[in-house]
Each structure stands twice: as C-alpha cells, then as structure tokens.
Amino acid sequence: MSNLKEKLSKIAFAQPSDWKTKAKYRRENREWLKKSAAIAIKVLDALKEQHLSQKDLAKRMNVSPQQINKIVKGQENLTLETISNLEIALDIKIIDENASHRKKRAG
Amino acid sequence: MKLVRIFVSDNSEDGLWSIHLEGELQNEFDKFFDLMNDVEWLHDFFEKNKADLTGGFFGSITIGDAVLKTLEEIRAMEDALYDYAEQGFVDSDNNLQHLFKPLNNFEYAITVHQKSKARIKKGWLRLYAIRLAENCYLVTGGGIKLIQDMKSEHLQIELRKLEQAKKFLRNNGIDYPEDLNTYQDE
C-alpha cells in the first residue's frame, strides 16, 4: 500500500461509502425519476401558491404526512391513482390526458 | 472528523475520499449527492436564496426551472464520477484531475494539497475537495454557487470545511505544505 493511502486508511472508517450503489440506482431509473421530480415541483409550487402545508395535503388525500413528504422529494414511483388524487386535492393538472390526442388531430 | 472511501484503487493511491464530520449521519460526499437529488430540499434552498437566484448572473429563472437545472447538473456530475469509478484507474484520459480544478479561478498551476472544485461547464454546482495527489482527492462538501463570490453563508461554511479538513490532515501526519492558495477563493 502506498504511504499516502496507508495514512488515509488509518484515519478512515472501515466501511466504504455506498454511493456507487445509489448512483447506479439513480442511473438505471433515470427516466421515471425525472417524471417524479417534475411532479414534485408541481406539488411544491401548488402548496406554496395555495398556502398549504404538506400536512394539509395529507389530510385532503387521507394519507400520512410521511407519504406526502416522500412524494415531494421527487423520488417516488407514483401510481396513476396517486397522481390523480394529487390533481384533485390541489386542483392542478399533472397529466393532460387529452394532449397527445389533440396534437394528433391538429397535425 | 474521519475519512470515508468513496472509490479507491486496489493497487495505487488513486481514488476519491470524503470527510465525515462528527455528529453527522452521512459523509459530505454522500450528503451532497443525496441533497442535490432531493426536490423538496432544492425547492426550499432556492426559495430561501431567491434574491441570489434572480439577481445573479443566471438571469430570470423560476424556482421550478432552477430545481430542474440542478437535477440535470447533478446527473452529469454523478455520471462522470460513476464512469470513472467503473472504468477504474487504467485509462489516464479519464482521471480525477480532469474533473477537479483549482478552487481559485486565477490559479492555473496544479499543486499538491490544493483546494479544488469540480463543476459542470456553465453550471452552478460545486463539489469541493483537497487535492492529495495527482489522482487522489478528499471531498469536503459541495454547494450551489449562485453569485460570483463565496460570500453566501452556505458557501462560507464550505470554505470553513476545507480549512477544517486541512487541519485534520496536518494533525494526522499527512504533511501539508504552507498554503499556496493565498488568492481570494472563488
């Protein structure tokens, strides 16, 4: 072992970081994570605009505040049901189900 | 303070390390990547630093767009480091010295034990580190740099962590020549 590495090892934890595992996960799940982040931004913007807390939203959706907190971190693989419930509770549009249909007709 | 291996070569001193501050649950490197992927944290950060966000050199930008820009940058930064960690330490074209530059923009010489930063071109994310050898860096933290200088409180904390890490290395027998970074830190 090189002198520098030996010295660094002496003042380091035995357990290395698990960053590589997390980075791999973020890379492999990138496409849906991007969508989850975009939804989280819409929810946070709406909460701010309507002066609501995450707790208020949890009550409206009848879920735990922890569940809302997971959603706004932008790392949850959300179901269509949860997305629809968010739209109703905040009166916002997250997925415009007619957008692709309209585009086709216009083209 | 202790150190944590992020990825280190088996047969040389090449590699990336991080500091782990006392009382903290995570080391500074892991914490940076987790926070920069956390939409709630980023939204809150830009809300608190709205004046710097809209008054700085990035022009008019909404909080939502600022979050998206940060997520894009952190993905690029994480990809570069991940590729490096995966490819190992054989290919000299892809070395840590290409990712990390001297902290001070006007400092062109690369020296031992130099305060350094990794950034994406035209980006505002910074990963701060101390250069220990040609291909060996110790990460001390990271941040979002919205204005030209380091005067924001959150960046002052990063400068203090760089200093703390230097002292820690010195106290543990990792020789540290007199600081060459005497210019104003960028």
Question: pTM score, two decimals?
Answer: 0.90
- Residue B121 exposed, middle or buried by CB count within 10 Å (0-12, 13-18, 19+): exposed
Whole-number Å distance between alpha carbons of A106 and B87: 48
Does any domain span residue A18? no
Does any domain span residue B182? no
Count of pairs with CB atoms under 8 A, one residue in A, one in B: 105
Whole-number Å distance between alpha carbons of A17 and B26: 9
Query: Cβ of A73 and B63 within 8 Å?
Result: no
Does any domain span residue A107? no
Query: Cβ of A10 and B172 within 8 Å?
Result: yes
pLDDT tens column, B94-117:
678 778 888 877 766 666 667 888
Does any domain span residue B16? yes
Q: Give B71's contacts in chain A (Cβ within 8 Å).
A: 34, 37
A87, pLDDT greater than 70: yes
What is the ipTM, given to two decimal places?
0.92
Does any domain span residue A11? no
Predicted pLDDT of residue B11: 82
Does any domain span residue A35? yes
Whole-number Å distance between alpha carbons of B143 and A81: 36
Tell me the pLDDT of chain A averaged across its residues.
93
Query: Cβ of B174 and A13 within 8 Å?
Result: no
Does any domain span residue B53? no
Does any domain span residue B165? yes
**DSSP result, B121-167:** TT--EEEEEEEEETTEEEEEEEEE--SSSS-SHHHHHHHHHHHHHHH
Does any domain span residue B64? no
CA A22 to chain B, closest CA, distance in angstroms equals 9
Q: Which residue range forms the structural domain that includes residue B32?
A: 2-37+73-171
- Residue A84 exposed, middle or buried by CB count within 10 Å (0-12, 13-18, 19+): middle
Predicted pLDDT of residue B55: 82
Predicted pLDDT of residue A103: 63
Rounded mean pLDDT of A60-81?
98
pLDDT tens column, A21-47:
999 999 999 999 999 999 999 999 999
Query: Cβ of B2 and A75 within 8 Å?
Result: no
Query: Cβ of B20 and A40 within 8 Å?
Result: no
Q: Does B38 touch chain A (CB under 8 A)?
A: yes
Contact B26, B17 (CB under 8 A): no
Does any domain span residue A10? no
Does any domain span residue B48? no
Predicted pLDDT of residue B40: 98
Token pair recorded at residue B76: 């690029």
- Least CB–CB distance from A8: residue in B17, B38, B79: B17
Whole-number Å distance between alpha carbons of B116 and B186: 10
- How many distinct structural domains can be found in chain A? 1
Q: Which residue range forms the structural domain that includes residue A53?
A: 27-90
CATH number at residue A59: 1.10.260.40
- How many distinct structural domains can be found in chain B? 1
- Cα separations (Å) of B134 from B3, B30, B98? 19, 23, 10
* Alpha-helical runs (H) found in A1-107: 3-10, 19-28, 30-49, 54-61, 65-72, 80-90, 99-106
Predicted pLDDT of residue A82: 98
CA B6 to chain A, closest CA, distance in angstroms equals 5
Does any domain span residue B59? no
Does any domain span residue B177? no
Select the more confidently predicted residue: B78 or A99.
B78
Residues of chain B falling short of pLDDT 70? 56, 89-94, 107-113, 175-186
Q: Return the C-alpha torsion angle B157, B158, B161, B163, nearest 10.
A: -100
Residues β-bridged to residue B130: B115, B138
Token pair recorded at residue B174: 């990792």
Interface test with A, best of B1, B2, B5 (most A CBs within 10 A): B5
